[in-house]
Amino acid sequence: MKIVVIGGTGLIGSKVVNILPQNGHQAIAAAPGTGVDTISGKGLPEALEGAEVVVDVSNSPSFETDAAMAFFKTAGENISAAEAKAGVKHHVALSVVGAQKLQDSGYSRAKLAQESMIKASPIPYTLVRATQFFEFIRGIAQSSTEGDTVRLSDAPFQPMAAEDVAAAVARAALGAPVNGTLEVAGPEILRIDEAVAKVLDADRDPRKVVTDPEARYFGVRLDNLSLLPDGNARQGAITLGWWMANVPPPRQK
């Protein structure tokens, strides 16, 4: 079966593209770098020709509210129209656990808009909602940094490894469309402030984490449920401790 992975050169997409052929399928990475642009539409009809499944794990190059909303809306319209023409039978997309609870964040509003478009499209679909990737913990630190201080809430979250996210997305792509949402999460519930402090410590990053329950997370005041999945989430196996010991930090560009 031909499976097109939009965003197939990204963190999750490149792992999905590696997993799928292990099952005898053909996986095509579709991204600007491989000649497919979901915003201009360039290369999209050609890439989707003969595809049974489309996996969308692309991301907006900017997380700014208007830019993210424009990205997910335009890409969603172009992908849905190209899928209808190509006769695609299953659309799989990756979204964020708790997006509906984080609507003070413009990025979360854009992800919810993406989800709504997928649900309204005639193409059968599976939405996979994941919690924060371990790889994103450094991004959380960055967004909450002032000088040498990282001010963070002590709210619980259940982050997971990109490897486990990719496995969940690949599993969804090979299954039948559920026309609904599956949630995936990490194996442990952690506190955001403590998890960020651990990663900064391992990175020998001199910034100090300060706990402040009022600190905003991308503009959102968190409560004890904001970032947690519902009770039915499938759990990944990789712990934060294993990930920190085994996955080297990305090289500085």
Ligand X SMILES: NC(=O)c1ccc[n+]([C@@H]2O[C@H](COP(=O)([O-])OP(=O)(O)OC[C@H]3O[C@@H](n4cnc5c(N)ncnc54)[C@H](OP(=O)(O)O)[C@@H]3O)[C@@H](O)[C@H]2O)c1
Q: At what angle do helices 162-174 and 11-19 cross, to 10 degrees?
A: 50
Contact stretch for ligand X (CB under 6 A) within 26-34, 145-153, 236-244, 245-253: 26-34
Q: Do 44 and 85 contact (CB within 8 A), yes or no?
A: no
Closest alpha carbon to 233 in 164, 174, 175, 177: 164
Tell me how far apart the alpha carbons of residues 180 and 97 are, in angstroms, rounded to a whole number.
14
Q: Does 33 bind ligand X (CB under 6 A)?
A: yes
* Rounded CA separation 84/77 (Å): 11
State which of residues 13, 76, 229, 236 lies at the interface with ligand X (CB under 6 A): 13
Binding span for ligand X by CB under 6 A among 52-60, 174-182, 184-192, 213-221: 52-60
Q: How far is the CB of 7 from ligand X (least distance, A)?
A: 3
- Distance separating alpha carbons of residues 177 and 119, to the nearest angstrom: 12
* Least distance from ligand X to the Cβ atom of residue 32, Å: 4
Identified binder of ligand X from the candidate list 10, 76, 156, 186, rule CB under 6 A: 10
C-alpha span between 125 and 52 (Å, rounded): 12
Beta strands in the chain (DSSP E): 2-6, 26-30, 53-56, 90-96, 125-130, 145-146, 149-152, 156-157, 180-185, 190-191, 208-211, 216-217, 220-221, 234-235
Residues in contact with ligand X, counted by CB under 6 A, come to a total of 25
Out of 48, 94, 172, 240, the only residue in the binding site for ligand X (CB under 6 A) is: 94
Which is nearer to ligand X, 104 or 208 (by Cβ)? 104
**HSE value, Cβ hemisphere, 13 Å, CA-based, for 163:** 10
Restricted to residues 153-172, the positions that interact with ligand X (CB under 6 A) are none
- 189 vs 208, beta carbon nearer ligand X: 189
The 101-140 contact track toward ligand X, x by CB under 6 A, reads: ----------x------------------x-xx--x----
Does 9 contact ligand X by CB under 6 A?
Answer: yes
**Percent helix, strand, coil in the chain (nearest 5)?**
40, 20, 40
* Part of the chain binding ligand X (CB under 6 A), chosen from 8-16, 202-210, 214-222, 232-240: 8-16
Site residues for ligand X per CB under 6 A: 6-7, 9-13, 31-33, 36-39, 57-59, 61, 94, 96, 111, 130, 132-133, 136
